[in-house]
Amino acid sequence: MYTRLCAFLSKASLMLAVVGLIAIILCVQYQVFGRYVLNDTPTWAEALALMLVIYVTSLGLAVGVRDAGHIGLESIIVLLPESIRLKLEILIHLLVGGFGGLMAWNGYLWTTLKWSDTKPMLGVPSGMDYVPLVIAGTLIVLFSIEHIIALFQGKEVEPAWN
Amino acid sequence: EEFKSADVHNSDDFPTVTAVKFMGEQLSKATGGKHTIKVFNKGALGSEKETIDQVKIGGLAMTRVNISAVTSMCPKTNIPVLPFLFRSVEHLHKVLDGPIGEEIAKDCESQGLMILAYYDSGARSIYSKKPIKTVADTKGLKIRVQQSDLWVAVTGAMGANPTPMPIGEVITALKTGLVDAAENNFPSYGSSFRHFEAAKYYNKTEHSMAPEVLLFSKAIFDKLPPAEQKAVRDAAKASIPFNRKEWAAAEKKEEDMVKAAGSIIAEVDKKSFQDVMGPVYEKFASSPDAKRLVKAIQDTK
Amino acid sequence: MELTVLCISFTILLLIGVPVAFAIGISSVCTIVAAGLPIAIVFQKMVGGMQIFSFLAIPFFIFAGELMLYGGIADRIVKFANSLVGHVRGGLGMSNVLGCTLFGGVAGSPLADVSAMGSVMIPLMKKEGYDADYAVNVTTHAALVGALMPTSHNIILFTLATAGIAAVSVFDMVLACVIPAVLLTVANVIAAYGVAVKRGYPTHGKFPGWGVVLGTFLAALPGLLVIVIILAGILSGVFTATESAATAVFWALIVTAIVYRTLSWENFLKACAKACKTTGVILLLIGLSAAFGYFMALYSVPEKTGELMKSVTSNPWMIFLMINILLFVLGTFLDMAPTILICTPIFLPIAQQYGMDPAQFGVMMLLNCALGLNTPPVGTTQFVGCAIGEISVGQVMRSILPFYGALTATMMLVTYVPAFSLWLPQTLKAALH
Ligand code: NA
Ligand code: NA
């Protein structure tokens, strides 16, 4: 049940990220079009692309946690005996999950602090830049818990998409 | 306590960097070495916007930024950025040193930011590959601007095609013709970013004199005993004339350097530019407060 | 005190297997707590670090690379390379080097290169009687050229890591990498040929004639045009580097979906999803490295490292050698992106002080990090190559020395002869002026 929820969240995040990535590319291409064809550079395009990239990154990095896609040094723990290795792996997921929690909490702090301030060129609250931290942080916590449960059950978390 | 102060300029000799160091010496003297200041320039602690937020939450004591970086937080700081508002450097100094400067500084305190000093940043002008004489020459010109609503509005009002772009890409963009012009002060045109290598004509539009500001964290300031608060304020005040002197010398040096390198520095028909700025004032100075301040500045002799 | 916390917590976290990005993040949090500063700064730096316009080129190049990987471009490049050099001694080895270099130019990533070219070439070479270790080494080393190609996101990464230290434009870096990339290819060909002769691999077939070469070239051309688009876009000033990268994505899509018709809808979605994940992983690393950089500046780490090195020697040649050795040691167990992000702020100011140009330093660093991709204990391209070749890392070491030699020779030439990296950008800049 919990795994199914996480799998759904993971796939949904990735789909949203794909939409975001394509939107970023369209923004940048429209900027070129505006500059040369309309001779009126759309000033919002770059600003929007820069805001979207944080959303795409946050979603992608959270899925990266679930799919164990982050680059790390695994050479030493594979040499350790099974029982210690299991404990160490749980510790790693606890640390990553804890960092996710901090990310969500501090993202929330910045979001509220910067909400009354407007972003130049876009006119939206500056706090929008920090909302992705809340999303990514929460997802990281959920996915880390999923990994820990899976370790106790002796299973592995299957990537939800490819 | 060692107060940390941020600055984005790369050169250790830049007038804002040396001014804050000078302030540190004054402060150390006044407090018998209890308080000192260490300057982290080259953007080591972050961009202008980032360091402002750090100052806001009390994670950093001081930062030196251009005033246009705080306009979205404290509306009155928009005023000194407005185009063609100041008649001369003397006029600018007179306004900032008086009650108007104080009123603008007060506006930031509710945001946790205290403006302790206004530093000079010179006048911003448009530099381009072809000479610009009147506002008509900017029609359709691709001018690089900072990512800021005001600069987009100012260049847009001239009839140009404002193109926001990070400063690091400007030199290549000018060389390859991706943009036709940019706008900035002498040091940026000169040795800071070497834009003179790609844009020969420095047209003295002098469209804005947006000053630099030295921000102090209110959270940290409020914890100091009154005597030390006064020492901080006094040291900051003392650094202003120091900065102005250094700035004037630096600006002159940069001007001579670009001239020697073959740049052509020419006057423009300022009136023609001034005449099209109506929409900018409409958009950024329409509140009663803003109108009152603009009038007071224009009336300052 | 804070620095000790930073170093010790980072090392421990890394050793117990916490992913690098999170190790950086958690140790930054520990440090900021020790320094008595708000934790919020770490996350502010993280967002700020991810949000720089030029970084947008990174997701674009990654996306284009994924499209190329799933879109059947590798097959056409293999056919072209084979028709050109397949007949000489160790022919498949030669075509492998050529093919990997060309695909590297298209995809700009050693990892994508090994995955795409390796999965075609390694089984083919094994079938033709080449030893697996040779097949894997040729592929994994030729693939490293991808890191120096105009489509390489590592080039962008380096230019951004120099912020506040030196002004290196993407334009300069892209051009500075061109001649070293050619040098490395030549060195790879020599190494591949040398091993082929020593092991007595036979010659194979005959030269199929220039007509066939031209035919296979034309078939591969649409894919190869990506390199031309990016170079021409930046050089002519029509696009910024970021815009060129966005255009590369469009071109990759057109070529694979319309010209070659090899990209299925399913593969397209896979490429998209993979690109988003990789973007997340790399930009998280970049963002958190910005927090790391903040501490290094706050506690003057570059200055202190510089003084330490100065106390050992003041000879620029020795300093450069020391930097190379330190980079190599780090590269053996760190991936390319973290090495670039962590080491640039430390070593670039030192190298500059001893007269090295920042762009030259960048090429040297890219080459050094590339070498790290093929060294145990952690070498990502080597892992992938070995997995495709179905051999162990131990087995692959048997014929690796000539290839290490080729890379090291190129690295030394770039380190000690500035012209290899600087001549082209300077000449072209002068021409533009
Ligand atoms: Na790439
Ligand atoms: Na390695």
A128-153 confidence digits (pLDDT tens): 999 999 999 999 999 999 999 998 88
Cα(A18)–Cα(A22) distance, integer angstroms: 6
Distance CA B111, CA B117 (A): 17
pLDDT tens across B175-224, in order?
878 889 999 999 889 888 888 888 999 999 999 999 999 999 999 999 99
Contact B175 C432 (CB under 8 A): yes
Q: State the Cα–Cα distance between residues A140 and A128, nearest whole angstrom.
A: 19
B164 bridge partner residues: B145
Pick the closest to residue A68 from A155, A151, A144, A142 (CA basis): A144
Q: What is the DSSP string of C209-231?
A: -HHHHHHHHHHHHHHHHHHHHHH
Residue C49 and residue C288 in contact, taking contact as beta carbons nearer than 8 Å: yes
Tens of pLDDT, residues C376-386:
766 778 877 88
- B111-120, B210-219, C314-323, C400-409: the lowest-pLDDT one: C314-323
Segments in C254-357 forming alpha helices (H): 265-298, 301-312, 316-333, 336-353
Question: pLDDT band at C432, cuts 50/70/90?
Answer: low
Q: How far is the CA of C377 from the centre of ligand 2 (A)?
A: 6
pLDDT tens, position by position, B11-26: 788 999 999 999 999 9
Tell me, what's the pLDDT at A74? Answer: 62
Smallest Cα distance from C3 to chain A, Å? 20
pLDDT attached to residue C361: 95
HEC profile for chain B? CEEEEECCCCCCCCHHHHHHHHHHHHHHHHCCCCCEEEEECCCCCCCHHHHHHHHHCCCCCEEEEEHHHCCCCCHHHHHHHCCCCCCCHHHHHHHHHCHHHHHHHHCCHHHCEEEEEEECCCCEEEEECCCCCCHHHHCCCEEEECCCHHHHHHHHHCCCEEEECCHHHHHHHHHHCCCCEEEECHHHHHHHCCHHHCCCEEEEEEEECCCEEEEEEHHHHCCCCHHHHHHHHHHHHHHHHHHHHHHHHHHHHHHHHHHHCCCEEEECCHHHHHCCCHHHHHHHCCCHHHHHHHHHHHHCC
The span from the first CA to the last CA of chain A, in angstroms, equals 21
| Mean pLDDT computed over every residue of chain A | 88
Comparing A3 with C242, which gets the higher pLDDT? A3
Tell me how far apart the 2 most distant CA atoms of chain B are, in Å: 59
Cα separation, A136 vs B9, in Å, equals: 34
d(CA C122, CA C99) in angstroms, rounded, equals 12
Q: What is the ipTM of this complex?
A: 0.86
Q: Is the pLDDT of residue C54 over 70?
A: no
Q: For position B220, what pLDDT does the model report?
A: 95
Supply the pLDDT for residue C408.
94
Q: Judge whether residue C74 has pLDDT over 80.
A: no
Mean pLDDT (chain B, rounded): 91
Average pLDDT, chain C: 84
pLDDT band of residue C165 (cuts 50, 70, 90) is: confident
Is the pLDDT at B98 greater than 90? The verdict is yes
Which residues on B lie below 8 Å from C171 (Cβ)? 172
Longest dimension (CA), chain A: 66
pLDDT value of position B194: 83
Cβ atoms within 10 Å, residue C215: 15
Chain B residue numbers with beta carbons less than 8 Å from the beta carbon of A43 are: 147, 152, 162, 164
Phi, psi (rounded to 5 degrees) for B17: -65, -45
Averaged pLDDT for residues B165-179: 79
Tokens found for residue B124? 């911003």
Question: Which burial class, exposed, middle or buried, applies to A1 when counting CB atoms under 10 A from its CB (0-12, 13-18, 19+)?
Answer: exposed
Q: Residue B206 in contact with residue B87, Cβ under 8 Å?
A: no
Q: How many CB pairs under 8 A join A and B?
A: 40
Closest-approach residue (CA) in chain C for B169: C169
The answer to whether C401 and C339 have CB atoms below 8 angstroms apart is no
- CA geometry: angle C407, C413, C418, nearest 5 deg: 135
B169 to C41: CB separation less than 8 angstroms, yes or no:
no
CA distances to B86, B147, B192, C184 from C426, rounded to whole Å, are 42, 30, 20, 21
Chain B: partners with 3+ C-beta pairs within 8 Å: A, C
In this prediction, residue A3 carries a pLDDT of 86
Q: Average pLDDT, stretch B231-249?
A: 95
How deeply is B301 buried, as exposed, middle or buried, from its count of CB atoms within 10 A (0-12, 13-18, 19+)? exposed
Give me the amino acid identity at B204. K
Amino acid A72: pLDDT: 66
Instruction: Report the alpha-carbon distance of residue A12 to residue A158 in Å, rounded.
Output: 15
Minimal Cα distance from C266: which residue of A? A162
Q: Which residues of C109-143 are buried (b: 16+ CB within 10 A; e: fewer)?
A: bbbbbbbbbbbbbbebbbeeebbbbbbbbbbbbbb
C390-426 pLDDT tens trace: 887 788 888 899 999 999 999 999 999 999 999 998 8
Distance in angstroms (rounded) separating the CA atoms of residues C242 and C359: 19
pLDDT of residue B128 exceeding 90? yes
Q: Which of B286, B268, B270, B239 is nearest to B23 (CA)?
A: B239
- What does DSSP assign to residue C401? H
Segment (H or E) for C256: none
In DSSP terms, which residues pair with B203 in a beta bridge?
B126, B266
Residue C21, SS3? helix
Position C121 scores a pLDDT of 80
Single-letter residue type at C360: Q
Q: What is the pLDDT of residue A71?
A: 67
Chain B residues near residue C48 by CB distance under 8 angstroms: 46-47, 50
Bridge partners for B16 per DSSP:
none
Q: CB of C115 within 8 A of CB of C384?
A: yes
Residues pairing with B266 in the sheet: B203
Tokens of A117: 């301030």
Q: How far apart are CA A110 and CA A119, in angstroms?
A: 14
> In chain C, what residues touch B50 (CB-CB under 8 Å)?
44-45, 48
CB contact under 8 A, B164 and A47: yes
pLDDT of residue C164: 67
CA-based max dimension of chain C: 72
Could you tell me if C245 and C231 are in contact, meaning their C-beta atoms sit under 8 angstroms apart?
no
The 3-class SS string of chain A reads CHHHHHHHHHHHHHHHHHHHHHHHHHHHHHHHHHHHHHCCCCHHHHHHHHHHHHHHHHHHHHHHHHCCCCCCCCCCHHHCCHHHHHHHHHHHHHHHHHHHHHHHHHHHHHHHHCCCCECCCCCCEHHHHCHHHHHHHHHHHHHHHHHHHHHHHCCCCCCCCC
C-alpha of residue C339 to centroid of ligand 2, in Å: 11
Res B28 pLDDT > 90? yes
| Residue C52: per-residue pLDDT | 66
User: What backbone torsions phi and psi does residue B114 show, to the nearest 5 degrees?
Assistant: -115, 125
Check if the beta carbon of residue C152 is closer than 8 Å to that of residue C184.
no
For C96-153, the pLDDT digits (tens) are 888 888 877 777 778 777 877 787 788 778 887 889 999 999 999 998 998 898 878 8
Handedness of CA B149, B155, B159, B161 (dihedral sign): negative
Does B31 have pLDDT greater than 80? yes
DSSP state of C201: P
Task: Decide if pLDDT at B37 tops 90.
Answer: yes
Domain boundaries defined on chain A = 2-153
Residue C76 has pLDDT above 80, yes or no: yes
Ligand nearest to the CA of C110: 1
Please tell me the distance from the alpha carbon of residue B130 to that of residue B116, in angstroms, as a whole number: 40
- Give the Å distance between the CA of B212 and the centre of ligand 1: 41
Please compute the mean of the pLDDT values over residues A67-83 and round it to a whole number.
74
CA distances to A58, A144, C125 from A2, rounded to whole Å, are 21, 12, 46
pLDDT at C168: 82
Among B80-89, B246-255, C343-352, the range scoring the smallest mean pLDDT is C343-352
| Dihedral sign for Cα atoms in the order C55, C59, C62, C67 | negative
Placement of tokens 């407060």 in the chain = B289
**B-chain residues near A114 (CB < 8 A):** 53
Over 80: is that where the pLDDT of B10 sits? no
pLDDT at residue C279 is higher than 60: yes
Spatial contact of C49 and C289, defined as CB atoms under 8 Å apart: yes
Classified as helix, coil or strand, C86 is coil
Confidence of residue C228 (pLDDT cuts 50, 70, 90): confident
Give mean pLDDT, residues C215-229.
83
HSE, side-chain direction, 13 A CA sphere, residue B136: 1
> pLDDT at residue A73 above 70?
no
C373: which DSSP letter?
T
Question: Which A residues 102-121 touch B at CB under 8 Å?
Answer: 110, 113-114, 117-121
Per the model's pLDDT, the better-predicted residue between C279 and B67 turns out to be B67
Amino acid, res. C123: P
